[in-house]
Amino acid sequence: MNFHVLTLFPDMIIQGLYTSVVGRALKAGTIHLEAVNIRDYTLDKHKKVDDYPYGGGAGMLMQAQPVYDAFRAVRKSVYERRGEVPLRVVYLTPCGKTFHQDMARELAREEDLVLLCGHYEGIDERVLEEIVTDEVSIGDYVLTGGELPAMVLVDAVSRMVPGVLGNQVSGESESFCKNLLEYPQYSRPEVWRDKRVPEILLSGDHARIEQWRLEQSLERTSLRRPELYESWVSENQEYFRKKAKREERMRKKEEKARKAAQNACIL
C-alpha cells in the first residue's frame, strides 16, 4: 500500500512514522510513504502558500493552486504506475466523519491513498471540491494542522495491511474489533505487588480462556463504551441464548452435586 501525504511539514510526517511497527513495515517495503511538500508547488518566489480569506476573519488560508499542483504531481506518478485509476483523497479536518476501525479496514483496501493536511485556518474550498473524496476527523477538537491526524490514520490503516504486523491475528483481535473493547492482558511475573494473574489464564484450557476473554470484553465495553456494547448485543442475540442455556446446565449440575453431598452426609 502507498500513502501520499500532502503537507507543509514533510519532516514531521517522516520522523513521526519511521519508528516502531510502521517504521519497520516502511523499511521492509510492505507499505510505502511519500511526504509531498506543498511549498514545492507554489508559484510564489518566497514559497508562500497562504493568503487572507475573502470576507475577512482571523488567520490565513492555504491557497488552492499549490495544493492542487501538489496533488496533480502525485496523481501523475500513480497514473504512470497503474494507469488512470480513481484516487481516494482524504482531507483531515474537524468537519469530517469521525475516524473508526471499520474505516481503517476499508481504507486499507486501497492501493494508493492520498492524505491532505490543512494548516492555518484551513484550505480554499474550491480545491477541496476539486480533489477531495473523503473528509475525516480523529475527534472533536482542533489541532494546529493535519499532520498528527494523518499520522494517526497511517498507523491505524497500516495495521490492517497484511504483513505489517508480525502476528496478523493481533491486529484483528484488538480493541474495537467486532464493536468490543479489548479484554485485560497479563504477563510475567505471575504475582506483582500482591496482584495475581487470573487463574483461568494459567489453566491451559484455551476454550475457557477465550470464553473468559469475551466476557471481560463485554463487561469492559458495557462500562466504558455502552453505545458499542448495545450495538454488539443487538447483533449477537444468539450468544446470550447460548450463555443462558450454559448457565442453566451449570446451575443444574451444581444443584445435583449439592444434593448428592447432602445425601452422603445423611448416610
Omega prior to 189 cis, within 30 of 0? yes
pLDDT of residue 9: 97
Residue 207 and residue 204: Cα distance in Å, rounded?
A: 9
Q: Which residues contact 61 (CB under 8 A, 6 or more apart)?
A: 50, 51, 52, 53, 120, 121, 122, 123, 124
Alpha-carbon distance values, 96 to 66, 123, 139, 141, 152 (Å):
22, 14, 9, 12, 15
Main-chain dihedrals φ then ψ at residue 99, nearest 5 degrees: -65, 140
The three state secondary structure string of 8-33 is CCHHHHHHHHCCHHHHHHHHHCCCEE
- Is the Cβ–Cβ distance between 33 and 17 less than 8 Å? yes
Place of cell 509531498: 36
Q: Digits of tens for pLDDT over the chain (267 positions)?
A: 999 999 999 999 999 999 999 999 999 999 999 999 999 999 999 999 999 999 988 889 999 999 999 999 999 999 999 999 999 999 999 999 999 999 999 999 999 999 999 998 899 999 999 999 999 999 999 899 999 999 999 999 999 999 999 755 444 444 455 779 999 999 999 999 999 999 999 999 999 999 999 999 999 999 999 999 999 999 999 989 988 998 899 899 988 888 888 887 776
Q: Is 210 helix (H, G, I), strand (E, B) or coil?
A: helix
pLDDT of residue 22: 97
- Is the Cβ–Cβ distance between 154 and 3 less than 8 Å? yes
Residue 68 and residue 49: Cα distance in Å, rounded?
A: 12
